[in-house]
């Protein structure tokens, strides 16, 4: 029977098909996915990511072409890696992974997910707080700030965090509905921000825009023009910033409702609206702010206020709020899965507390480019296990859905295939200071190969394994 | 009522699209554009609650959106 989810507010009971394949009657055409992706990827973090490209000294050409290609690769990943499996298996990521990796290992993966969700939600709360602080003339933290710059900033972040956490705990469905309403409006406000910023820059040609862009980088970098991101880095960032969702297979949960795998093309709506138009618009907003106010701090609230006024403030608050909310909600669910017996409300509030604490430190928001790569490096490799299990396991004599077949809690082949490449990647990221998004694909690929190798090496006749035993 | 709200809402969203373009081609001032955007925003939220998304979300699983 499909699992039924009863929200705690008065919304109707809805079928989620958490542990069973989505039946034909609940499947949807591609049209449903275009709007969903276009709306959902115009989020609070877009206000942060776009300006960070300027501060990283990325050339205008590399932004336009790099994002074009990187987003296309992301769309291809959704279309040809995630959607085909989703439309055949029709299971959520967790349900699918549980059959391969075992219940206990999925809980550990879920916990990693939950913790990373909290930090992402923290960045979104910071984004919202920068807008809420404007009417109070709050001095915003500078770009290189690690710690909060004033007690007022902490108070506003805590106030925003408490409201968001409480709403996530008590009225998630109302926020989801509000997010649906806000989505088309937000997309147009993002577009408007870009158009107005372009006008404020006072350019009428590509050459003029390039010149003022270079001047902005020079101003932001104190007179120098040096870049920490070339074309390849921009492509990799755009491709893998949602790695956990496409190659990481998190969107199995979404595309299990699609009638055909071709619905995967609908992700182009999200990529080219949210991760192309919105990023470029936000980057232009910072360039305009540098020109008009000589401030290179990429603080979303004031930037949006400069170009489109109070509507911009509302947009920053709403964008941060509507995306932080489900993130905290999902983190709460992840924690609850780890600690059976606890209530969802208490775990959601715990997740909200962690997110709010993280939000107090602006470094989490200002280092978002690196954090997003880290997020993909840790979570996406599990998608390779699903990919390898689905397409290759039978060919090399490994039982698909191995954990389900023998009833084990932790499939050690999956555990070590995940831990080894992730640990090596984390060593290079933290000890050697290598950029995070170089590691997403190598870790993903290595995880898939190691899973097959370990499964083959550890392959034993099923009869020799007792049901319930770890393998 | 629902239909009226729908048309007013769609009109407001069209205005949100047009105002920045009007500023870009110098047909309105920055201040007028900002005021117009704020009014249109209020109209959009005031009317769209009557016709958008009266059903609960279909899916609560998945990752945060970036």
Tens digit of pLDDT for each residue in B13-44?
Answer: 999 999 999 999 999 999 999 999 999 999 99
Cβ pair B61:A93 closer than 8 A: yes
Query: How would DSSP label each residue in B4-17?
Result: HHHHHHHHHHHHHH
pLDDT value at B61 more than 60: no
**Distance of residue A256 Cα from the nearest chain B Cα, in angstroms:** 11
pTM confidence score: 0.88
pLDDT value at A39 more than 90: no
Cβ pair A185:B41 closer than 8 A: yes
* Domain annotation covers residue A55: yes
pLDDT value at A471 more than 80: no
Of A41, A176, A192, which is closest to B20 when you measure between CB atoms?
A192
| Cα(A107)–Cα(A356) distance, integer angstroms | 24
CA A349 to chain CA centroid, nearest Å:
21
Tokens standing for A239? 């491709």
Half-sphere exposure of residue A207: CA atoms within 13 angstroms, side-chain side: 0
Mean pLDDT, rounded, for A68-77:
98
| Cα(A458)–Cα(A209) distance, integer angstroms | 59
ipTM for this model:
0.87
Which residues of A are less than 8 Å from B53 in CB distance? 176-177, 180-181
3-class state of residue A8 by DSSP: coil
Mean pLDDT, rounded, for A416-444:
95
pLDDT value at A463 more than 80: no
Give every CB contact of residue A15 below 8 A, 6+ residues apart in sequence: A2, A3, A4, A5, A26
Cβ pair A195:B35 closer than 8 A: no
- Other CB atoms within 10 A of residue A221 CB: 16
Tokens standing for A415? 């555990």
* Domain annotation covers residue A459: no
* pLDDT at residue A176, rounded to an integer: 75
Tokens standing for A103? 């219940």
Cβ pair A173:B58 closer than 8 A: no
* pLDDT at residue A137, rounded to an integer: 84
pLDDT value at A418 more than 90: yes
* Contact criterion met (CB below 8 Å) for A262 and A79: yes
* Domain annotation covers residue A331: yes
* Band of residue A239 on the pLDDT scale cut at 50, 70, 90: very high
* Domain annotation covers residue A413: no
- Looking at the DSSP bridge assignments, the partners of residue A5 are A14
Which residues of A are less than 8 Å from B18 in CB distance? none
Q: Point out the least confidently predicted range of A11-20, A270-279, A333-342, A382-391.
A: A11-20
Closest by alpha carbon to A254, among A230, A238, A270? A270
* pLDDT at residue B53, rounded to an integer: 66
| Cα(A134)–Cα(A285) distance, integer angstroms | 17
* Domain annotation covers residue A200: yes
Higher pLDDT, A389 or A16: A389
Any CB–CB contact under 8 A between A115 and chain B?
Answer: no
- Other CB atoms within 10 A of residue A453 CB: 13
| Cα(A190)–Cα(B14) distance, integer angstroms | 14
Any CB–CB contact under 8 A between A40 and chain B?
Answer: yes
* Domain annotation covers residue A66: yes
Mean pLDDT, rounded, for A339-357:
91
* Band of residue A15 on the pLDDT scale cut at 50, 70, 90: low
Mean pLDDT, rounded, for A328-351:
86
Q: CATH code at A178? A: 1.10.4160.10
**Residues of A (248-267) whose Cβ lies below 8 Å from B:** 248, 250-251, 253-254, 257
Of A188, A193, A250, which is closest to B63 when you measure between CB atoms?
A250
* Domain annotation covers residue A364: yes
As for how many domains chain A has, the answer is 1
Taking phi over 0 as left and psi of -120 to 50 as alpha, with beta for the rest, A148 belongs to beta
* Contact criterion met (CB below 8 Å) for A348 and A154: no
Which residues of B are less than 8 Å from A120 in CB distance? 64, 66
What domain range includes position A205? Answer: 30-370
* Domain annotation covers residue A423: no
3-state helix, strand, coil in chain A (%, to 5): 70, 0, 25
**Distance of residue B3 Cα from the nearest chain A Cα, in angstroms:** 16
* Contact criterion met (CB below 8 Å) for A371 and A119: yes
3-class state of residue A28 by DSSP: strand
């Amino acid at each position: 029977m499909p699992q039924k989810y009863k929200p705690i507010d008065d919304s109707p009971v809805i079928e989620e098909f958490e542990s069973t394949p989505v039946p034909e009657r609940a499947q949807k055409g591609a049209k449903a996915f275009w709007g969903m992706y276009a709306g959902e990827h115009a989020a609070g973090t877009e206000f942060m990511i776009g300006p960070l490209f300027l501060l990283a000294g990325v050339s205008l050409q590399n932004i336009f072409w790099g994002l074009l290609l990187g987003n296309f690769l992301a769309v291809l990943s959704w279309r040809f890696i995630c959607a085909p499996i989703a439309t055949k298996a029709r299971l959520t990521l967790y349900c699918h992974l549980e059959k391969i990796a075992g219940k206990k290992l999925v809980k550990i993966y879920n916990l990693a997910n939950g913790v990373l969700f909290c930090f992402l939600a923290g960045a979104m709360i910071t984004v919202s707080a920068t807008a809420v602080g404007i009417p109070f003339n709050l001095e915003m933290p500078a770009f290189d700030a690690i710690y909060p710059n004033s007690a007022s900033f902490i108070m506003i972040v805590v106030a925003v965090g408490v409201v968001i956490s409480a709403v996530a705990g008590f009225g998630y469905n109302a926020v989801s509905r509000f997010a649906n309403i806000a989505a088309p409006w937000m997309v147009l406000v993002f577009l408007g921000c870009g158009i107005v910023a372009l006008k404020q820059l006072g350019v009428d040609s590509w050459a003029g825009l390039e010149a003022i862009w270079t001047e902005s980088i020079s101003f932001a970098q104190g007179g120098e023009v040096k870049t920490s991101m070339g074309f390849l880095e921009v492509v990799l960032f755009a491709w893998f910033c949602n790695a956990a969702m496409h190659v990481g297979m998190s969107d199995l949960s979404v595309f299990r409702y699609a009638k055909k795998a071709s619905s995967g093309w609908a992700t182009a709506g999200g990529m080219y609206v949210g991760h192309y138009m919105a990023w470029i618009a936000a980057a232009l907003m910072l360039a305009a702010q540098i020109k008009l106010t000589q401030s290179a701090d990429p603080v979303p609230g004031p930037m949006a206020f400069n170009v489109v006024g109070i509507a911009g403030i509302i947009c920053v608050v709403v964008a941060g709020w509507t995306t932080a909310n489900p993130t905290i909600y999902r983190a709460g669910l992840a924690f609850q899965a780890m600690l059976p017996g606890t209530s969802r409300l208490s775990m959601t509030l715990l997740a909200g507390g962690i997110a709010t604490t993280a939000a107090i430190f602006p470094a989490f928001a200002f280092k978002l480019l690196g954090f997003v790569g880290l997020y993909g490096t840790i979570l996406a490799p599990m998608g390779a296990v699903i990919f390898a299990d689905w397409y290759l396991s039978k060919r090399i004599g490994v039982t698909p859905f191995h954990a389900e077949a023998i009833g084990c809690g932790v499939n050690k082949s999956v555990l070590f295939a995940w831990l080894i490449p992730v640990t090596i990647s984390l060593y290079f990221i933290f000890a050697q200071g290598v950029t995070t998004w170089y590691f997403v694909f190598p870790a993903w690929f290595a995880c898939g190969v190691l899973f097959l190798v370990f499964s083959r090496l550890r392959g034993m006749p099923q009869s020799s394994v007792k049901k319930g035993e770890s393998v | 009522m629902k239909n009226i709200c729908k048309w007013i809402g769609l009109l407001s969203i069209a205005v949100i699209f047009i105002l920045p373009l009007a500023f870009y081609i110098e047909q309105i001032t920055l201040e007028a554009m900002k005021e117009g955007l704020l009014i249109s925003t209020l109209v959009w939220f005031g009317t769209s609650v009557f016709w958008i998304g009266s059903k609960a979300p279909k899916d609560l699983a998945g990752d945060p959106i970036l």
